[in-house]
Amino acid sequence: MRHPLRFTVLVGLALALFAGPVLAGSRIKDIVEFEGVRENMLVGYGIVVGLNGSGDSLQNAPFTKQSLEAMLERLGVNTRAADATINTKDVAAVMVTARLPAFAASGSPIDASVSALGDSKSLLGGTLLVTPLLGADGQAYAVAQGTVQTGAVSASGASGSTVTKGVPTAGRISDGAIVEREVGFQLASMSQMRLTLRNPDFTTAGRIADAINTAFPGTAQVENPTIVTIRPPPGMDMVSFVTQVENLDVQPDAPAKVIIDEVAGVVVMGSDVRISTVAIAQGNLTISVQETPQVSQPNPLSSGTTTVTSKSDIKVSEEKGKRLIMLQDGASLSSLVSGLNALGVTPRDMISILQAIKAAGALQADIAVM
């Protein structure tokens, strides 16, 4: 007895296995930046106390001494008297930085980073005192305070030898700052917004506009490879419009490019890299020079002296078994990789080969050397 249902399922599975790869799109929110929706940098100057003798030397860091005196005076302690002498190693002057997220509400906690400003050895376990964090306009948008965690390990011996892992003079205070002032940005009242592509490209910008206009006709326009301007349709505010636009799928495009990091020996090639017809051969040439000292004795009853001379032994060897690899016109990335792997080349040799192919005009891609 035949089972048509089972046969249909098997045919469907076979078609799924042998079907070509499906290009997965990216959400618009993952490839663009929305105008005005951004972080703001904050910075402040503060004091870390409670260090176990690893703070600033007040003689070498006068700003630390002045800050300490000013802080104690505000607390009612007179440190400028004739008999008052401050000589402590438990205080360090620091710079405090933070990122104010977009639409952060007053009272929201944010992380703060602390970095030593003087000659302190470590900030581990210290406490940052109340520090205002200022924006580019000079206004205080947050206040930071808390225990500094560096994530570093440092040890020293009686002989003066030290072992340090990590950077003990820079740390972080998780949720150590409180937002005190909000950034005024009225998104709902905007009549238009610009989307900025993280990787500018004409094709990608056109696809973004097409995807938006398909869902909301006449609401998107390409200004240039970087900017796509959107306007909400009648009856919809900008917040609701952006909420739907950011989840639309778009297949991003990018130019063919080869990224080379010569220091680390890393090569990254895009899928659109193409090779014209070219033949590649690679071999290793090794030259070794060995110096052997020899003693030269004078003839008997002669007036000569014993001298030491050098004998040079030079050897040249070339690795055998490497053959010529030919890539046909329009070869893809996989063909290039397979050919180079067949030659047994190392990543550093691959860098030289790719640069030589580019010099020959056979590499249809840009090379960016880091």
Render pLDDT for 103-132 as a digit per residue (tens, 0 to 9): 899 999 999 999 999 899 889 889 999 999
Q: What is the DSSP string of 264-313?
A: TTEEEE-TT-EE-SEEE----EEEEEEEEEEEEPPPTT-S---EEEEEEE
Alpha-carbon gap, residue 325 to 360, rounded angstroms: 16
- pTM for the full predicted model: 0.67
How much is the mean pLDDT over the chain? 80
Alpha-carbon gap, residue 339 to 282, rounded angstroms: 11
Alpha-carbon gap, residue 229 to 211, rounded angstroms: 13
Query: With contact defined as beta carbons under 8 Å apart, do 109 and 135 qualify?
Result: no
**What are the residue ranges of helices labelled H in the chain?**
4-18, 62-74, 202-215, 238-245, 333-343, 347-359
Q: One-letter amino acid identity for 210?
A: D
pLDDT surpassing 70 at residue 280: no
What number is the average pLDDT over the span 321-334? 57
Higher pLDDT among residues 285 and 64, named by residue = 64
Tokens of 127: 């406490």
Q: What pLDDT was estimated at residue 329?
A: 59
Query: With contact defined as beta carbons under 8 Å apart, do 167 and 114 qualify?
Result: no
Q: What pLDDT was estimated at residue 11?
A: 36
315 pLDDT band, cuts 50/70/90, is low
67 phi and psi angles, rounded to 5 deg: -65, -40
283 pLDDT band, cuts 50/70/90, is low
Q: What pLDDT was estimated at residue 217?
A: 94
Alpha-carbon gap, residue 325 to 260, rounded angstroms: 22
154 pLDDT band, cuts 50/70/90, is low
Query: With contact defined as beta carbons under 8 Å apart, do 230 and 193 qualify?
Result: yes
pLDDT surpassing 60 at residue 287: no
- How do the domains of the chain map onto residue ranges? 40-151+165-179, 193-250, 257-283+321-369
In this structure, what is the dihedral angle of CA atoms 118, 120, 126, 128, given to the nearest 10 degrees? 0
Higher pLDDT among residues 179 and 350, named by residue = 179
Render pLDDT for 55-90 as a digit per residue (tens, 0 to 9): 999 888 889 988 988 888 888 888 776 556 778 889
